[in-house]
Structure 1
Amino acid sequence: MICSLTIKNIALIDELHIEFGKGLNVLSGETGAGKSIVVDSMNLVLGERADKELIRHGREKARVEAVLHIDSAALADFFEKNELDAEDELILSRDLSAAGKNVCRINGVVVSLAALKELTDHIIDLHGQHQHQSLLYAKSHLDFVDSFGKETILPIKQAINGLYDRLKDAQRQLEAVGGGERDRAQSVDLLSFQIKEIEAAGLVAGEEDALREEREKIMHAQTIAQSLSSGYEALYAGSDEGGSVLSMLQEVVARLSEITHYDERYRVLADKLQESVYTVEECAHDMRSLADDVVFDEQRQEEIEQRLDLIHSLKRKYGADEEEILAYLQEAEDRLYKLQNAEKVATELAGQIEGLKKELYGRYIALSEARKESAGRLGEKLLAELHDLGMPDAQFQARFEPLKGMDEAVYTRNGIDDMEFMISTNVGEPLKPLSKTASGGEISRIMLAFKNLSAGMDHISTMIFDEIDTGISGKMALTVAEKMAAIAQERQVICVSHLPQIAAMGDENYLISKHTEDGVTNTDVVRLTKERKVAEVSRLSGGIESESSEKYAQDLIQNAARFKAGLPGTGK
């Protein structure tokens, strides 16, 4: 939902901040007060085309910012594709300049206009100006039908997904063994050479690290031998200047042994030092043995260098380490087998593909039949809604193109149907695409009917209606107001209206007005209190300020409250 909208330097608006609520938000005001400016500003932040003429006279820049609360999980693919953090609170902004510069941001990150529109197309519908209306796009019609009949259609689509994955896998395998005889022969030669080269090397996992360690020991053999020998001398043999560490320890132990009977602590100390004697003696013997083993082997060093060069060469061709090279070997052997048996493998895969296509096509037929049944039910319910909304002569059809045959079909996850919603709103008019419906008021009511049927079916969290009340009044106005209130139980609705019935139904009401000060005209928007709401509904009713007009407004508001209290989900 849209939590707030901030507008700066747009047309008659100097600076304006509107905080919207849940449910039905109604904006009203005198003709010319600036209602269209607020809608134009919403269009800007939703990614519609910008006109620099919207910038307030005398200003160089304009800005519109909207704070939204969304279900980020439902838009995870969008955030990942655009490398944005998925957050439930979004700040969308758009800056315009008189020089023509246009900057869009999502949570402070500059994005393209297309990305901004892609995001808002999924969460907001704006009805009334042939803009930002998801159902006007024919590509969305099948999705609407599928959602409407999801109990029957979803299981079929899930089965199609599984078959489609298997088909694409088989096609990839066939492509891998495909190509002409010359191409296969060249591939066989290359793979055979690679396999022989890797096998001849006799690689062992972890071998390179072991070789590098051995090379280091050979290269520093003299230093290692000297260190071990001098260590042995110091511990065991001693030097001309003094005795060995071992002999000195033994002398200390002997002296302590003479006094152990005087105090138990002396005996414990003597025992500990005796253990040290054994340890030093053992270490000295180990050092001598290790020193004897150290040999500078120039031939072995050369062998190691050659082996490391070979491993490095294989790594440049086949993988980052021995494990990856050996994995490549396994993969190459599998590919070689398929190429050497290409004719047999290709025949088997072609048979699999044909069988999968046949099975998929059968599912496509079932999906198409389910869609037509769903579209039929949708049409009946939609016409009933349109009848309620003052369009009793409307006709509707979900027009399906004839299905292509199995050999002509293009296999996709979404079936092979091509369908578009067709509508006629007046007697004598032919059915034509929904996107070609001319009247803004008719489109808004059609969208209202669709959205009343689709509550809970999509991720659209906010609907914005402009000109929804064109050409209607009286009982029809009340019907439109009731349907908008019903939709507002499931999602946020923002409506610009001049009808008292819709204003009375509002959960939040706003008055748009303009005033002139020092020769400058400004548009303002204020949230109405209960008392001011009564006054505004009275004004919209066309009555003069009197007790009777106020009583009529109060009656409208009370009736609206009773209607909303009886709606499902109100908990009343």
Structure 2
Amino acid sequence: MITSLSIKNYALIEKLTIDFSKGFSIITGETGAGKSIILGALGLVLGKRADLTSLKNKEEKCIIEALFSISKYNLAPFFEANDLDYEDETIIRREILPSGKSRAFINDSPVNLQELQELSFYLIDIHSQHQTQELSEEKVQFEIIDAIADNFQNIVEYQILLKNYKSDKVKLNTLLKKQSESAKEQEYNTFLLDELVAANLKADEQEVLESDFEKLNNVEIIKESIDKSLAVANEEQIGVMHNLKEIKNSLHKIASFSPEYDALLERVSSVAIEFDDITVELNRSAEKLINDPEQLVLISQKLQLIYTLQKKHQVTTVNELIQIKNRLENTVLELGNLEDQIVNLKKSIQQITTSLDGLSNEIHQKRVDAVPVLAQKLIAILETLGMPNVRFKIDIRASSTYFDNGKDTLEFLFSANKGTDFGLLKKVASGGEMSRIMLAVKAVLAHYSKLPTLIFDEIDSGVSGEIANSMGEIMKEMSQNMQIFAITHLPQIASKGTAHFKVSKSTIGEDTLSELKLLSKEERIVEIAQMLSGTVVSDSALNHAKALLN
């Protein structure tokens, strides 16, 4: 419950601090006195957006601070989940800076508006007059039924599954579209890959093949040249080796005479060794040289295949072809895995569907069981509010569509009088009837929810007299289990409160100020008397006010 509210530099309020108690609190005041300002300030604390028009003095910041006693409402898990410090007496502060920026704090920890709004959901329900029409919305009607049916946890689980279901359906549709679009591409890629795999390419093999091709294609010329080179090198009388030995022997005779000749001997010896190695290599080459026409054809075919593939894929090396093959393997494998992914997603969707159907059936049955309980309780309350012949026809039907809160459709019909047909609330209920129905709904829900505080903003619109008195009694009874505020113009309701606040407006010079004041017993008598008779208070009005209060 809210225990105090502090407002500084907001709208017509310069500075205000007010304490609240448990039970039933009344707020009254003339039209335009500033009751909406109090609600507006409280709305900011609960996470509504703000702008610079909220500031009374545009050069100073606006600060709104509310203290909540929350020890009885099991909110520690929320604080833990949002990494906030939990306090039994929790302070929520909202600041609006002259620059237009807004800041929010929970127990001095900065938070964003979404976190503030999520916490406020567990703290206060502000029911404004225009919100009565929300009762005719299917979403709100389901929330009422589900509260009585204790469907909260089932719907949370259902919504988690539904989120996964929708996510998997999106993934599946994406994969199916990709599969359809890539069918022809897959066929072509597979053809290209098979072609490259069949080629059995090896890194850098093109250079080896081209070299082998040149050797085999010119084997006769090569053999002739090697044989001639060996003959020239090894001829006994005039061969190069014979002549080098002769030169070496001649220089050996004079090498000791001068370092110059010794150096020349060393060089000729090196040449002789090198040339000997050359002849050895020539002999080896001659031995390996084979005239193999079949091998030549095979090498030629392989090279032609490589050149054809290079032209097709617009590359110049075998290594690039191998890279293309690897990429195609990944692409074909990925598209091949597409079918497996689709099969797995379909299985997942089927499993989720089974779970969704099971949960939605449970939600449906609990709703069906809750409908007569809700109708009975509403009728009992509305009979005391001057609607003795009221009837409800609430029809819940299971469908095949997955909605956000289950698979049900809802028809919530109403009849206020005997002999009249059932109709939709928004079409057949008057403003006064809607106010009474909403109060009855809130009174029923008060027994099922653990909401600390409920604020009624002129829910008494369109009613008066004994009906107003009954509405006040219902709100007073509700306040036994929760903190109730009622902003009202009716003395019958105002007299039921355990505390009475008055909003007033005054003009000081060029400035207009609003203030909220807790009335004493005597001030309260006068306020209710004025609500009965107007500004001029008569003795009969005072006596009537005292009678109402008693």
Aligned residues: 379
Question: In the alignment, is residue 474 of structure 1 matched against residue 470 of structure 2?
Answer: no
Question: In the alignment, is residue 400 of structure 1 matched against residue 393 of structure 2?
Answer: no
Structure 1, unpaired ranges of 5+? 172-342, 559-572
Match of residue 548 from structure 2 = 556
Match of residue 340 from structure 1 = none
Match of residue 84 from structure 2 = 84
Question: In the alignment, is residue 487 of structure 1 matched against residue 478 of structure 2?
Answer: yes
Question: In the alignment, is residue 547 of structure 1 matched against residue 539 of structure 2?
Answer: yes
What is the CA–CA distance in structure 1 between the aligned matches of 2:59 and 2:421, rounded to whole Å?
51
Structure 2, unpaired ranges of 5+? 169-339
Choose from 459, 463, 468 the match for 2:450.
Answer: 459
Aligned residue for 1:85, secondary structure, equals: coil
**1:28 touches 1:512 (CA, 8 Å); kept in 2?**
yes
Change in Cα spacing, 1:385 to 1:73, as seen in structure 2 (3 Å) is: closer
2:128 counterpart letter in structure 1: G
Aligned residue for 2:22, secondary structure, equals: coil
CA drift of 1:142 comes to 4.2
Question: In the alignment, is residue 100 of structure 1 matched against residue 100 of structure 2?
Answer: yes
CA drift of 1:137 comes to 7.7
Match of residue 490 from structure 2 = 499
Match of residue 304 from structure 1 = none
1:385 counterpart letter in structure 2: I
What is the percentage of aligned positions where both structures have the same residue?
37
What is the CA–CA distance in structure 2 between the aligned matches of 1:420 and 1:114, rounded to whole Å?
32
Question: Normalization by structure 1: what TM-score?
Answer: 0.55
**2:73 touches 2:450 (CA, 8 Å); kept in 1?**
no
1:235-269 superposed Cα distances (whole Å, 9 cap, x missing partner): xxxxxxxxxxxxxxxxxxxxxxxxxxxxxxxxxxx
What is the CA–CA distance in structure 2 between the aligned matches of 1:82 and 1:437, rounded to whole Å?
43
**2:529 touches 2:545 (CA, 8 Å); kept in 1?**
yes
1:430-473 superposed Cα distances (whole Å, 9 cap, x missing partner): 41679x9996x766543321121122311211011112222221
Question: In the alignment, is residue 12 of structure 1 matched against residue 12 of structure 2?
Answer: yes
Match of residue 526 from structure 1 = 517
CA drift of 1:401 comes to 4.8
What is the CA–CA distance in structure 2 between the aligned matches of 1:46 and 1:437, rounded to whole Å?
31
1:168-197 superposed Cα distances (whole Å, 9 cap, x missing partner): 9xx9xxxxxxxxxxxxxxxxxxxxxxxxxx
Bigger radius of gyration among the two: 2
Choose from 359, 369, 372 the match for 2:368.
Answer: 372
1:180-229 superposed Cα distances (whole Å, 9 cap, x missing partner): xxxxxxxxxxxxxxxxxxxxxxxxxxxxxxxxxxxxxxxxxxxxxxxxxx
Question: Normalization by structure 2: what TM-score?
Answer: 0.57
Q: State how 1:77-226 maps to structure 2 within 5 Å.
A: 77-130=77-130, 141-142=141-142, 144-150=144-150
CA drift of 1:116 comes to 1.0
CA drift of 1:146 comes to 3.7
Change in Cα spacing, 1:15 to 1:445, as seen in structure 2 (3 Å) is: farther
What is the CA–CA distance in structure 2 between the aligned matches of 1:425 and 1:114, rounded to whole Å?
40
Choose from 435, 446, 459 the match for 2:437.
Answer: 446
CA drift of 1:71 comes to 4.0
1:111-150 superposed Cα distances (whole Å, 9 cap, x missing partner): 1112111111222110115469997885565454244245
CA drift of 1:57 comes to 5.0
Aligned residue for 2:49, secondary structure, equals: coil
Match of residue 34 from structure 1 = 34
What is the CA–CA distance in structure 2 between the aligned matches of 1:135 and 1:85, rounded to whole Å?
36
**1:389 touches 1:479 (CA, 8 Å); kept in 2?**
yes
CA drift of 1:5 comes to 0.9
What is the CA–CA distance in structure 2 between the aligned matches of 1:452 and 1:107, rounded to whole Å?
32
CA drift of 1:515 comes to 2.0
Match of residue 288 from structure 1 = none
What is the CA–CA distance in structure 2 between the aligned matches of 1:133 and 1:432, rounded to whole Å?
9
What is the CA–CA distance in structure 2 between the aligned matches of 1:401 and 1:507, rounded to whole Å?
44
What is the CA–CA distance in structure 2 between the aligned matches of 1:463 and 1:44, rounded to whole Å?
16
**1:423 touches 1:433 (CA, 8 Å); kept in 2?**
no
Deviates more, 1:467-476 or 1:539-548: 539-548
1:39-89 superposed Cα distances (whole Å, 9 cap, x missing partner): 221222122233432321554422221111114763344323321123222
Which 4+ residue blocks in structure 1 deviate beyond 4 angstroms? Answer: 129-143, 352-364, 390-399, 418-430, 436-439, 441-444
What is the CA–CA distance in structure 1 between the aligned matches of 2:414 and 2:102, rounded to whole Å?
37
Change in Cα spacing, 1:110 to 1:362, as seen in structure 2 (3 Å) is: closer
RMSD, aligned α-carbons: 4.6
**1:397 touches 1:423 (CA, 8 Å); kept in 2?**
yes
What is the CA–CA distance in structure 2 between the aligned matches of 1:59 and 1:399, rounded to whole Å?
57
What is the CA–CA distance in structure 1 between the aligned matches of 2:524 and 2:429, rounded to whole Å?
35
**1:394 touches 1:425 (CA, 8 Å); kept in 2?**
yes
CA drift of 1:97 comes to 3.3
Q: State how 1:193-272 maps to structure 2 within 5 Å.
A: none
